[in-house]
Amino acid sequence: MSDRYHENRIDGKAMADRLVADVAKQVATLKQTEHVIPGLAVVIVGDDPASKVYVGNKIKRAKEAGLNSIKYELPENCTQDELEQLIERLNNDADVHGILVQLPLPKPLSEARVIELISAEKDVDGFHPQNVGRLVAGQHSLVPCTPLGCLIMLREHFHGEAALSGKHAVVIGRSNIVGKPLAQLLLQANCTVSIVHSRTRDIETLCRQADILIAAVGRPQLVEKNWVKPGAVVIDVGINAIESDGARKLVGDVDFASVSQVASAITPVPGGVGPMTIACLMQNTLNAARMQIQHSDPIRT
């Protein structure tokens, strides 16, 4: 069929619009009942054009969700001390409930030190070691936005988390921001989880066993049709800018045109995981504000 594409495409943009609208409602209620507007601080160091696009999207969505958002732009050559002083100021600012430092940071700034310095209860990226530990222990509160976005898309696609039980999920990539936390979430949803990476042998054969295949690699269109079991659900996390016919365009880690012929469902790039990542950031900021309100009021039950 000519528009087979459109039948099995999972619309991340539409899901993200619904999630942001839902967050906006909850923010309005919080404002009425607690007289608090959740605040999100986004810190960007240097002027990487892609980072600027993502940060711009975050600020735009925060407005739609009714959050207060503030962007802090530091120069490329800012020192570790200057960055850390800003983080400490934001940690101590009661109007700021969520802090996000856009990664990667320019050399020689230490990402690990910055991530550890952010107060765990304001860590809306879920990257702080305390939140990573809580995720692995199943006591999570602030979960990394991209993995959470992937899980929500799968839940919606399968009409609930119960349907994920027993499915074989293969995650390509083992980064701290996507692959590893996503594998944890899928494990908690009772999937059988395999993680494959650059040292994996015979990766195609492993991927072809997946009921759910998730690509978070950073290699344009690496995953081809012959890597995918017919009927599998494919989630494409990759965001790669390539040049095609002299124009810049965005492609995922999956070859959408060929894989969509065999997958039962597939997320596009753009319009898939990216918008859901940003929507989850809004949800995390709301959740962080709620937790901070509860902690500041010892008699609340």
Ligand X SMILES: Nc1nc(=O)c2c([nH]1)NC[C@@H]1CN(c3ccc(C(=O)N[C@@H](CCC(=O)O)C(=O)O)cc3)C=[N+]21
| Residues in binding site for NADP(+) | 173-175, 239
33: left (phi over 0), alpha (psi -120 to 50) or beta: alpha
**By CB under 6 A, residue 46 contacts ligand X:** no
48 is known as an active-site residue: no
CA distance 247 to 103: 26
Q: Enumerate the H helices of the chain as residue ranges.
A: 4-7, 12-34, 49-64, 80-91, 111-117, 129-137, 145-157, 179-188, 203-207, 256-259, 273-295
Map the footprint of ligand X across residues 52-91, applying CB under 6 A: 53-54, 57
Specify whether the CB–CB gap between 285 and 40 falls below 8 A: yes
Q: Which stretch binds ligand X (CB under 6 A): 148-156, 163-171, 180-188, 271-279?
A: 271-279
Q: Which of 36/259 has CB closer to ligand X?
A: 259
- Distance of closest approach, residue 194 Cβ to ligand X, in angstroms: 24
| Residue 13 a catalytic site member | no
Nearer to ligand NDP, 146 or 221 (CB): 146
Using CB under 6 A as the binding rule, the residues of this chain from 91 to 150 that contact ligand X are 100-103, 125, 145-146
**Long-range Cβ contacts of 227-233 (<8 Å, 24+ apart):** 227/203, 227/259, 228/259, 228/262, 228/263, 229/262, 230/262, 231/262, 231/263, 231/264, 232/262, 232/263, 232/264, 233/154, 233/157, 233/263, 233/264, 233/265, 233/266
Size of the site for ligand X (CB under 6 A): 19
Residue 269 engages ligand X in binding (rule: CB under 6 A): yes
Write down the least CB distance from residue 61 to ligand X, Å: 9
Q: Is residue 180 flagged as an active site residue?
A: no
- Burial tier of 48 (Cβ tally within 10 Å: 0-12, 13-18, 19+): middle
Smallest separation (angstroms) from ligand NDP to the CB of 240? 5
The region of 50-58, 131-139, 163-171, 225-233 touching ligand X under the rule CB under 6 A is 50-58
Residue nearest to ligand X (CB): 274
Task: Single out the residue of 169, 217, 275, 286 in contact with ligand X (rule: CB under 6 A).
Answer: 275
Shortest reach from residue 54's CB to ligand NDP, in Å: 8
Q: What is the DSSP string of 177-246?
A: TTHHHHHHHHHHTT-EEEEE-TT-SSHHHHHTT-SEEEE-S--TT-B-GGGS-TT-EEEE---EEEEETT
Using the rule CB under 6 A, which residue among 174, 274, 284, 287 binds ligand X? Answer: 274
Nearest approach, Cβ of residue 238 and ligand X (Å): 9
Residue closer to ligand NDP (CB basis): 30 or 150: 150
Residues classed as catalytic:
58, 102, 125
Binding residues (CB under 6 A) for ligand X: these are 53-54, 57, 100-103, 125, 145-146, 239, 250, 269-271, 274-275, 277-278
